[in-house]
Amino acid sequence: MEKANFNAEIIDLIRNTNKDFIENELRPFLRIPSNTLNYEGIILAKNYLISYISEFSEKLNEYKGEINPLIIARIEGEIKEPLLIYMMYDTQPISKEKEWISNPFGAEIKILPPPIDTLGDCIIARGAYNSKTPLLCFLNVVKILKMQDNLPISLLLLFDGDEEKGSPSLLKFLENKNQRELFKNCIDAYYPSAKQDLSQKSVLKLGYKGILSLTIKISSKNKEPHSAFSGMIHNPASDLVSLLNTIYSNNEFHINSLRSSYVMTAEEQSLIETLMKEFDIDIIKKKAGIEQTIEDEPQKVFINYLYNPTFNISTLKSGFLEEGIKNYVPNQAVCNIDIRFAHNVSTDVILKEIKEKIDNFSKKTKNQIEMTINIDYESSRVNKDSTLVKSLIKSAEILGFSTELWPLSAAANPLSKIHKVMGLDFITGGLGIGGYAHSANEFIQYDSIINNRLSNYYFLKFYSKIIKEKV
């Protein structure tokens, strides 16, 4: 292993303060109920972070957001050109609270039910995995390095307070030319996370799918008459189903931009072939809580997961939703859909085609159709030989963990916008085992938290060393 001027005293300090960090910094932070629309919780989390980073940042600014504030802080290090660090401090709201084994914002230490019980003690909390634990672990290591006057590179910290609603504050911020200037000297962008799978391999994904999230609402001027009158009027629920079928049905898109299958590059095919030699799709299914898949053959499941354009209906709401039966015609129907795609296509093109479908359908009904854009990120890629990727692989290796390279993530990331606007490479990575993001019993494995903190230290050292060699 190459040396990168590691400091044994700092490594020992990180190790020796781990329990204190968890009990006195991390768990209190996880107890703050900072779901995106809980304003009180958001302000508590924002104030916690500002208080935390004020100790070691040279410049700190808060910007009023579309929903919640953005925080941007400058931390001076040995290399003056900064690495942009993206972090989110909001979380998803709590649903199905009865399925949680402990208070979702209690940050209690528990053993999860099978099949995850083999992980031993875990901290259970909304945001434990996605992604308040990696956020605070990274900040803690930066604080230690600043206290020891050993931060190898300057950092520009960007804290997003409404990522779970599509990062409208960040997107609006990037529209302003003067505000974009804050990022102009950044070298790359990094999103600290906990990306080990259940076999303890570090997983690095060399890109993200694009996403287009929409809310479509169809409403009528009618009251809600008895269904005996359904022959006289348009039904918003029926209209909504029919409209969606003009965009996607029978597992096929009916818009030109996503009608054709994605064509993998030679490098992507090579990475897939390498992955499948040792890859166990059941590990992903277990971690995500998946029992059934469309395909049975593992390679087909995996390739479809990564590359198929998807049309997901996460909310479909209309009519009588209480117990019992009520035969009437609803006057409103609403759905939330998200479309994910690996294709190199602009979300503007996809939106234009969907609007054309809505315009054509609206000619067949007297109901009103409204569409709201929630999120729109395009797909992105990073080269496997980039400084970011090399540094993360080395930081895992020095701690005894191998790295599994994926050509793509099926998830989406707001840094795709920074990639498009600023031209910065970005990646998400870091050690630590967690899971159940957006679901009940979200967790981070207790014993893996030290690896997350140490990997942050090694990453910053390796990354800085490579940058210096390039200069």
CA distance readout (Å), 170 to 69, 160, 369: 9, 7, 28
> Is 188 in contact with 425 (CB distance < 8 Å)?
yes
Would you state the pLDDT for residue 289? 76
Return the closest-CA partner of residue 166 out of 219, 112, 210, 106.
Answer: 210
Q: Residue 81 phi/psi, 5° resolution?
A: -70, 125
Handedness of CA 122, 450, 88, 211 (dihedral sign): negative
pTM confidence score: 0.87
Using CA atoms, how far apart are residues 413 and 415, in angstroms rounded to an integer? 5
Q: What is the b/e burial string over 165-185, where b = at least 16 CB atoms within 10 angstroms of the residue's CB?
A: bbbbbbbebbeeeeeeebbee
Using CA atoms, how far apart are residues 34 and 105, in angstroms rounded to an integer? 9
Using CA atoms, how far apart are residues 118 and 294, in angstroms rounded to an integer? 28
Would you state the pLDDT for residue 310? 96
Would you state the pLDDT for residue 3? 58
Return the closest-CA partner of residue 197 out of 312, 116, 121, 261.
Answer: 116
Tell me: the pLDDT tens digits for 337-351? 999 999 999 999 999
Answer with the residue of higher pLDDT: 5 or 178.
Answer: 178
Contacts of 280 (CB under 8 A, 6+ apart): 199, 298
Number of Cβ atoms within 10 Å of the Cβ of 241: 16
Using CA atoms, how far apart are residues 350 and 354, in angstroms rounded to an integer? 6
Helix (H) or strand (E) holding 381: strand 380-381
Return the closest-CA partner of residue 10 out of 152, 153, 193.
Answer: 152
Using CA atoms, how far apart are residues 163 and 88, in angstroms rounded to an integer? 6
Using CA atoms, how far apart are residues 103 and 105, in angstroms rounded to an integer? 5
**Total length of the chain:** 471
Mean pLDDT score across all residues of the chain: 94
Domains of the chain from N-terminus onward:
8-208+379-470 (3.40.630.10), 210-262+308-377 (3.30.70.360)
Tell me: the pLDDT tens digits for 210-239? 999 999 999 999 999 999 999 999 999 999
Tell me: the pLDDT tens digits for 395-428? 999 999 999 999 999 988 888 888 888 889 999 9
User: Stretch 64-81: mean pLDDT, rounded?
Assistant: 97
Directed axis angle between helix 415-422 and helix 168-175, to 10°?
10
